[in-house]
Amino acid sequence: MILTVAEMSFPTGWIPPYNTLVVAAGVASVGFAAGVVGCFAVLRRRALAGDAAAHATLLGVGLAFLLGGGRRDLPLLLGGALSTAIAALLALVLIGRWTRTRDDAATAIVLGVSFGAGITLLSGISARGIPGSAGLEQFLLGHTAGLTAADAMILGALSLLTVALVALFLKESTLVAFDPLFAAASGWPVTLIDYALVVLVAVMVVVGLPAAGAVLVTALVVIPPVTARQWTDSVGVMLPLAGLFGLVAALSGVAVSSAVPRMPTGPLVVIAASILLTISLLIAPRRGGLARWLRSRRTVAAWAEGRLLEVALRLEAQGPFTREQLLAKAPGVAADSAFKRLVRSAAIEPVVTRAGTDAWRLAVWGRELAAERSRRLAAWTEVLEVAREDARGHLTIDVPSPEAILGAARMKAIRESAAAARSASGPG
Amino acid sequence: MMEFDSTHLWMHFWAIATAATVSAGCALVGSFLVVRRLSLLGDAISHAVLPGIVLAVLAGGRPGGAGVFLGAVVAALVTVWLTNLLGTHAGLAEDAGAGVAFTTLFAIGVVLVSALASRVDIDPGCVLYGILELVPFDTVPILGLEVPRALLAAATVLVVLVVAAALCWKELVFTAFDPAAARAAGLPVGLVSAGLLVATSLATVASFEAVGAILVVAMLAVPAAAAELLVRRFHRMLLVAVALGVAGSIVGYLAAWHFNTNAAGMIAVVLGIEYLLAALWAPGDGIVARVVSRESLRWRVACEDRLASLWRAEEGDAAALAPRTLLDRLAQARLVFGGRIVPGRAGGLTDIGREEARVIVRSHRLWEAWLGRHVALPLDHLHPPAEWIEHHLGAEVRGRIAADLEGDEGDPHGRDIPPEEFPRRPAEPPAR
């Protein structure tokens, strides 16, 4: 007997039924596409415009429900949602063009009023007891349990289409996202591409509705790109990575919500995405908190060592020096541990050598290091005094902040005396 | 939900009073947020206070009680701190940072509400759109009157906000409009901003029970933005915003009663309509005023261009252009009707028309002459600016330019500049 996959009855309980698998696949592709499209929303700072569009979808769902004569047909409802989402974006553009109201207030107005209208409509529908209206509230916070396999396939297909569009216009979108002025100067239709990207965000917000709900679906578009941004500096990597994070977040949210009764999906998806983000913020290479901390510790240590060497070179003129003498002349963060490292280095390539129980002397290598450091410092001092522009051009962003090395109090004193010197020398 | 029933009029009165009080407080705070471009802070805070409220209720606080307010303020501060943290450490733009922070906190709140539904007396739906209709049923006795607890909380917050605004008025306004100068003048700008933050969370929590987390955004931003379109002075803006907020609450509630739907949502819709009306009809730079002034300018320019073209034809320089566009035809009709142009196909200028046309051509040629003398422009570049400015030069400016030209009678193209005043009986126009 030959069975189709759908008809197969699995003997063991742990393999989920066909419908669940299809819904999971649909939600996964929604998560992936939301992450990919969201990258441009985040890069172009359209995150909150997407939020306004998301809150407006509720009104469209209600209108489509009424127009469709009370059928709960997902494509119809989502079509309605998309039209009001785009209307909301249009309202944003019009307010910006026609009134004095600034962007932030315009976003808040569109968001609040369209959501209010949606609530009014849905609540009016449910107060009149129109049959089939009970499930409409699920669009507020998301609920995937009611999705059929056909619905999920539509969602998945739309998501893949969106991703394909982004891939097709990758070059144009990237150019507009990073350098709109250059793009405009090179003759690209920047406004058109910009609007197209915002409309794609609206599409993703709508497609994400069943999974995350009107109130929280923005998070599905915003958080995965932000997470991906922690791991890479390249758009080519960021897009698939954001998609991957979105996919994982959407899937795990849906999985947890199906296990807990009466738990809406949206918040769980958002929390899953935030957990991924938190982990990334901590452990991502280069930009992560851990990497930053290690880097700043290394820098501080290197500076402390250099400063000890410099002082040691001066002290040595009067013969061997003690640890106290050295540390008294070179106070500061991490001086103590730097001294320990200098002593330990004796085993490999001696920087200092022991000249008594607590008497030290610079080794040949240490003297060379100290001399080289003074030479470099002198050279940089000259550069900073004479050719400041060169210094600015060659110092990278990784230059440690002076506060990290000298301490905040010392830095404040330096700044004050510099300001005093400036005002004493007078303007000009 | 709400059926008309006179025995329940008191209930409706209390609900309306609560909505209006809440709205007044929000409009007050919202005005500061809008002028400081912080409307989205209101958005973020209104979402983010949820977990604070839930945790406070879980810890035994009563909705509307001091503990809940404290929880909400802490949650609001956490959001702002998180947003700043994401900004400085993860290099996020402010909107993305806020988007991450408040959606996450709100999600945590919703999950808490859903998971602890049996222990926390908060309905997930009410979190989103409030339960203004149920507010009158939870009362406390004051002076023998059963006053809704939500109204009491909202009124207390409103009094606190008004007193705080009055006490710190100078600091608030200075910081709002010129933070750099305020800092230079030694004002504690950071402290004022933090105070505004706390005020926003107080207003939000007071509104929470009545209108829910998201519609607070409308109450904060919409009346203030509408008021900003209507008036120019900040203290008036505050008053107008509060008035719009209160009016919107009353009308919105009554409309919700009439249409039998959610009151908080309807209030947001009415506020939106108020904003739309303000944007359309604001004096000076409302959409209608701007369209009217732009169209009337276009209309005047069309009429004047028509007159000038006929004058040039009489001068014999060129044949008068036939009116081509719809606007031109309308202008022609208007000029005929106003006695500037002789009716009929030939349609020359009447005496009045000729007077007016002469002034326009005079403006045009004076400007060309002046440009030709003082600005090194090639001859063929003189016409466009003159074509524009001929509609805007007054008699005084014309006089000054003429004086500057020292009686030079011709324009750079070699045509005469018509005089400002003709003798009473104008001479025949130069023959062809």
Kindly report the CATH number assigned to the domain that includes residue B326: 1.10.10.10
What is d(CA B262, CA B254) in angstroms, rounded to the nearest whole number?
Answer: 11
With CB atoms and an 8 Å threshold, state whether A101 touches B114. Answer: no
Is the residue at B269 inside a domain? yes
Q: Could you tell me which of A167, A302, A184 has the C-alpha nearest to residue A243?
A: A167
Query: What ipTM was assigned to the predicted interfaces of this complex?
Result: 0.84
Q: Could you tell me which of B263, B71, B213, B63 has the C-alpha nearest to residue B151?
A: B63
Q: Give the CA distances from residue B25 to residues A277, B145, B151, B201, B241, in Å, rounded to whole numbers and listed in that order.
A: 36, 23, 12, 11, 10
* B427 three-class SS: coil
With CB atoms and an 8 Å threshold, state whether A112 touches B266. Answer: no
| One domain for residues B100 and B134 | yes
Is the residue at B427 inside a domain? no
Q: Please tell me the distance in Å from B43's CA to the nearest CA on chain A.
A: 7
With CB atoms and an 8 Å threshold, state whether A137 touches B1. Answer: no
What is d(CA A307, CA A290) in angstroms, rounded to the nearest whole number?
Answer: 26
Q: Could you tell me which of A204, A225, A223, A238 has the C-alpha nearest to residue A270?
A: A223
Nearest CA in chain A to B266: A120
Read off the pLDDT of residues A91-107 as tens digits, 9 standing for 90 and up. Answer: 999 999 999 999 999 99
Question: What confidence tier does A346 reach under pLDDT thresholds 50, 70, 90?
Answer: low
With CB atoms and an 8 Å threshold, state whether A112 touches B100. Answer: no
Query: Which residues in chain A have Cβ-Cβ distances shorter than 8 Å to B254?
Result: none
| One domain for residues B65 and B153 | yes
| One domain for residues B99 and B187 | yes
Q: What pLDDT is recorded for position B63?
A: 65
The dihedral of CA B385, B386, B391, B396: what is its sign?
positive
As a whole number, mean pLDDT of residues B114-134 equals 75
Place of tokens 């998609």: A243
Interface test with A, best of B1, B79, B92, B110 (most A CBs within 10 A): B110
Which residues neighbour A182 within 8 Å (Cβ) at sequence distance 6 or greater? A175
With CB atoms and an 8 Å threshold, state whether A271 touches B217. Answer: no
Show the tokens assigned to A256.
Answer: 């947890």
Q: Answer for the pair A47, A221: CB distance below 8 angstroms, yes or no.
A: yes
Nearest CA in chain A to B227: A101
pLDDT at B214 over 70: yes
Is the residue at B419 inside a domain? no
The structural domain count of chain B equals 2
Query: Which residues in chain A have Cβ-Cβ distances shorter than 8 Å to B125?
Result: 137, 140
Q: Determine how many CB atoms are found less than 10 A away from the CB of residue A150.
A: 13
Q: Which H or E run contains A376?
A: helix A364-386
Q: What pLDDT is recorded for position A326?
A: 81
What is d(CA B12, CA B235) in angstroms, rounded to the nearest whole number?
Answer: 32
| One domain for residues B296 and B262 | no
Is the residue at B138 inside a domain? yes
Query: Which residues in chain B have Cβ-Cβ distances shorter than 8 Å to A216?
Result: 103, 106-107, 110
| One domain for residues B143 and B93 | yes
Nearest CA in chain B to A129: B1
pLDDT at A181 over 80: yes
With CB atoms and an 8 Å threshold, state whether A124 touches B259. Answer: yes
Question: What confidence tier does A165 reach under pLDDT thresholds 50, 70, 90?
Answer: very high
| One domain for residues B208 and B126 | yes
C-alpha triplet A237, A241, A247: angle, nearest 5°: 155
Nearest to B103 among A100, A270, A289 (CB): A270
Dihedral in degrees, nearest 10, Cα atoms A18, A19, A20, A22:
90
pLDDT at B3 over 60: no
Q: What pLDDT is recorded for position B429?
A: 56
Nearest CA in chain B to A213: B107
Per cent of chain A over pLDDT 90 is 31
As a whole number, mean pLDDT of residues B395-414 equals 81
Using N-to-C axis directions, what is the helix angle for B39-58 and B66-90, rounded to 10°?
Answer: 130
| One domain for residues B185 and B121 | yes
Q: Please tell me the distance in Å from A366's CA to the nearest CA on chain B.
A: 37
Helix residue ranges per DSSP H, B91-188: 94-115, 124-129, 149-167, 169-177, 179-184
pLDDT at A240 over 60: yes
Question: What confidence tier does A242 reach under pLDDT thresholds 50, 70, 90?
Answer: very high
Show the tokens assigned to B343.
Answer: 């009716």
Q: Which residue has the higher pLDDT, B423 or B185?
A: B185
| One domain for residues B271 and B299 | no
Q: Answer for the pair B389, B411: CB distance below 8 angstroms, yes or no.
A: no
Q: Please tell me the distance in Å from A208's CA to the nearest CA on chain B.
A: 15
Nearest to B275 among A109, A137, A277 (CB): A109
Q: What pLDDT is recorded for position B234?
A: 93
> Any idea which of A54-63, A109-118, B171-180, B234-243 has the lowest mean pLDDT?
B171-180
Task: Report the mean per-residue pLDDT for chain A.
Answer: 84
With CB atoms and an 8 Å threshold, state whether A226 touches B261. Answer: no
Q: What pLDDT is recorded for position A5?
A: 44
Read off the pLDDT of residues A41-63 as tens digits, 9 standing for 90 and up. Answer: 888 888 888 899 999 999 999 99
What is d(CA B245, CA A95) in angstroms, rounded to the nearest whole number?
Answer: 20
HSE of B245 in the Cβ direction (CA atoms, 13 Å)? 34
Q: Please tell me the distance in Å from B301's CA to the nearest CA on chain A.
A: 23
What is d(CA A56, CA B161) in angstroms, rounded to the nearest whole number?
Answer: 31
Q: Which residue has the higher pLDDT, B261 or A12?
A: B261
Most confident residue range from A133-137, A389-393, B157-161: B157-161
Interface test with B, best of A84, A115, A133, A230 (most B CBs within 10 A): A115
Query: Which residues in chain A have Cβ-Cβ distances shorter than 8 Å to B118?
Result: none
Q: Please tell me the distance in Å from B121's CA to the nearest CA on chain A.
A: 16
Q: Please tell me the distance in Å from A372's CA to the nearest CA on chain B.
A: 34
| One domain for residues B298 and B335 | yes
Tell which B residues from 290 to 319 touch A, by Cβ distance under 8 Å.
290
Domain boundary among the residues B229, B254, B282 is at B282
With CB atoms and an 8 Å threshold, state whether B100 touches A219. Answer: yes
- B232 has a chain A CB within 8 A of its CB: no
pLDDT at A367 over 80: yes
Q: What pLDDT is recorded for position B346?
A: 67
Which residues neighbour B44 within 8 Å (Cβ) at sequence distance 6 or greater? B79, B80, B83, B98, B101, B102
Task: Report the mean per-residue pLDDT for chain B.
Answer: 85
Show the tokens assigned to A267.
Answer: 């918040």
pLDDT at A331 over 50: yes
Nearest to A101 among B214, B219, B225 (CB): B225
Nearest to B225 among A48, A109, A268 (CB): A109
| One domain for residues B344 and B391 | yes
Question: What confidence tier does B425 reach under pLDDT thresholds 50, 70, 90?
Answer: low
What is d(CA B209, CA A112) in angstroms, rounded to the nearest whole number?
Answer: 17
Size of the A and B interface in Cβ pairs below 8 Å: 214
Q: What pLDDT is recorded for position A147?
A: 82
Read off the pLDDT of residues B52-99 as tens digits, 9 standing for 90 and up. Answer: 888 888 887 776 678 888 888 888 888 888 888 888 777 777 778 888
Q: What pLDDT is recorded for position B17?
A: 94
With CB atoms and an 8 Å threshold, state whether B107 touches A268. Answer: yes
Q: Domains, chain A, ranges and CATH?
A: 18-283 (1.10.3470.10), 291-395 (1.10.10.10)
Question: What confidence tier does A10 reach under pLDDT thresholds 50, 70, 90?
Answer: very low
As a whole number, mean pLDDT of residues A53-80 equals 89
Per cent of chain B over pLDDT 70 is 91
Which residues neighbour B369 within 8 Å (Cβ) at sequence distance 6 or greater? B401, B405, B408, B410, B411, B412, B417
β-pairing, A352-356 vs A359-362, is: antiparallel
As a whole number, mean pLDDT of residues A64-71 equals 84
Read off the pLDDT of residues A14-24 as tens digits, 9 standing for 90 and up. Answer: 556 777 788 88
As a whole number, mean pLDDT of residues B326-330 equals 86
What is d(CA B156, CA B149) in angstroms, rounded to the nearest whole number?
Answer: 11
Q: Could you tell me which of A321, A325, A330 has the C-alpha nearest to residue A361?
A: A321
Contacts 24+ apart (CB under 8 A), A11-19: A18/A149, A19/A148, A19/A149
pTM: 0.82
With CB atoms and an 8 Å threshold, state whether B265 touches A120. Answer: yes
Q: What pLDDT is recorded for position A249?
A: 93
Nearest to B265 among A100, A105, A116 (CB): A116
With CB atoms and an 8 Å threshold, state whether B268 touches A116. Answer: yes
What is d(CA A210, CA A148) in angstroms, rounded to the nearest whole number?
Answer: 11
Show the tokens assigned to A180.
Answer: 């709109």
With CB atoms and an 8 Å threshold, state whether B95 touches A99. Answer: no
Question: What confidence tier does A150 reach under pLDDT thresholds 50, 70, 90?
Answer: confident
HSE of B131 in the Cβ direction (CA atoms, 13 Å)? 16
> Any idea which of A71-80, A142-151, B48-57, B362-371 has the lowest mean pLDDT?
A142-151
Q: Answer for the pair A53, A88: CB distance below 8 angstroms, yes or no.
A: yes
Q: What pLDDT is recorded for position B81?
A: 87
Is the residue at B170 inside a domain? yes
Interface test with B, best of A93, A95, A113, A238 (most B CBs within 10 A): A113
Q: Give the CA distances from residue A35 to residues A28, A166, A195, A229, A240, in Å, rounded to whole numbers and listed in that order.
A: 11, 12, 18, 11, 8
What is d(CA A124, CA B262) in angstroms, rounded to the nearest whole number?
Answer: 7
Report CA B337 to chain centroid distance, whole Å: 40
Domain boundary among the residues B282, B313, B344 is at B282
Is the residue at B426 inside a domain? no
Instruction: Tell me the backbone φ, ψ of residue B148, rounded to 5 degrees.
Output: -60, 140
Nearest to B40 among A107, A262, A277 (CB): A107
Length of chain B, in residues: 432
With CB atoms and an 8 Å threshold, state whether B269 touches A120. Answer: yes
Query: Which residues in chain A have Cβ-Cβ distances shorter than 8 Å to B214?
Result: 55, 111-112, 115, 215
Length of chain A, in residues: 428
Nearest to A218 among B1, B99, B128 (CB): B99
Helix residue ranges per DSSP H, B8-148: 9-35, 39-58, 66-90, 94-115, 124-129
Range of the domain at B393: 290-404
Which residues neighbour A348 within 8 Å (Cβ) at sequence distance 6 or greater? none
| One domain for residues B387 and B342 | yes
- B54 has a chain A CB within 8 A of its CB: no
Report the CATH number at residue B205: 1.10.3470.10
Query: Which residues in chain A have Cβ-Cβ distances shorter than 8 Å to B262?
Result: 119-120, 122-124
Domain boundary among the residues B241, B260, B282 is at B282
Q: What pLDDT is recorded for position B5?
A: 56
With CB atoms and an 8 Å threshold, state whether B96 touches A117. Answer: no
Most confident residue range from A338-342, A387-391, B39-43: B39-43
What is d(CA B196, CA B32) in angstroms, rounded to the nearest whole number?
Answer: 8
With CB atoms and an 8 Å threshold, state whether A115 touches B92. Answer: no
| One domain for residues B205 and B320 | no
Tell which B residues from 117 to 136 touch A, by Cβ distance under 8 Å.
117, 124-125, 128-129
As a whole number, mean pLDDT of residues A295-313 equals 83
Q: Could you tell me which of A137, A373, A112 has the C-alpha nearest to residue B273?
A: A112
Q: What pLDDT is recorded for position A398?
A: 62
Residue type for position A75? P
Q: What pLDDT is recorded for position A1?
A: 39
Q: Please tell me the distance in Å from A127's CA to the nearest CA on chain B.
A: 7
Q: Answer for the pair B292, B301: CB distance below 8 angstroms, yes or no.
A: no
Question: What confidence tier does A9 reach under pLDDT thresholds 50, 70, 90?
Answer: very low
Read off the pLDDT of residues B279-325 as tens digits, 9 standing for 90 and up. Answer: 999 988 889 999 999 999 999 999 998 888 888 888 776 666 677 78
What is d(CA A211, CA A271) in angstroms, rounded to the nearest whole number?
Answer: 13
| Buried b or exposed e, range B98-132, using 16+ CB within 10 angstroms | bbbbbbbbbbbbbbbbbeeeeebebebbbbbbbbb
Query: Which residues in chain A have Cβ-Cβ distances shorter than 8 Å to B279?
Result: 95, 98-99, 101
What is d(CA B359, CA B304) in angstroms, rounded to the nearest whole number?
Answer: 10
Nearest CA in chain B to A100: B229
pLDDT at B430 over 60: no
C-alpha triplet A260, A263, A266: angle, nearest 5°: 125
Is the residue at B358 inside a domain? yes
As a whole number, mean pLDDT of residues A389-397 equals 71
pLDDT at A146 over 70: yes
Rounded to a whole number, what is the distance in angstroms from the first to the last CA of chain A? Answer: 95
What is d(CA A310, CA A317) in angstroms, rounded to the nearest whole number?
Answer: 12
Show the tokens assigned to A43.
Answer: 């890069």
- B377 has a chain A CB within 8 A of its CB: no
Q: Answer for the pair B109, B127: CB distance below 8 angstroms, yes or no.
A: yes
Q: Please tell me the distance in Å from B408's CA to the nearest CA on chain A.
A: 46
Most confident residue range from A99-113, A182-196, B405-419: A99-113
Q: Which H or E run contains A78?
A: helix A74-98
Is the residue at B430 inside a domain? no
The dihedral of CA B156, B158, B161, B164: what is its sign?
negative
> Any idea which of A216-220, A390-394, B66-70, B376-380 has the lowest mean pLDDT?
A390-394
What is d(CA A266, CA B321) in angstroms, rounded to the nearest whole number?
Answer: 67
HSE of A2 in the Cβ direction (CA atoms, 13 Å)? 0
Show the tokens assigned to B147.
Answer: 């006053």
Helix residue ranges per DSSP H, B231-350: 234-259, 263-281, 287-315, 326-337
Q: What pLDDT is recorded for position B84?
A: 84
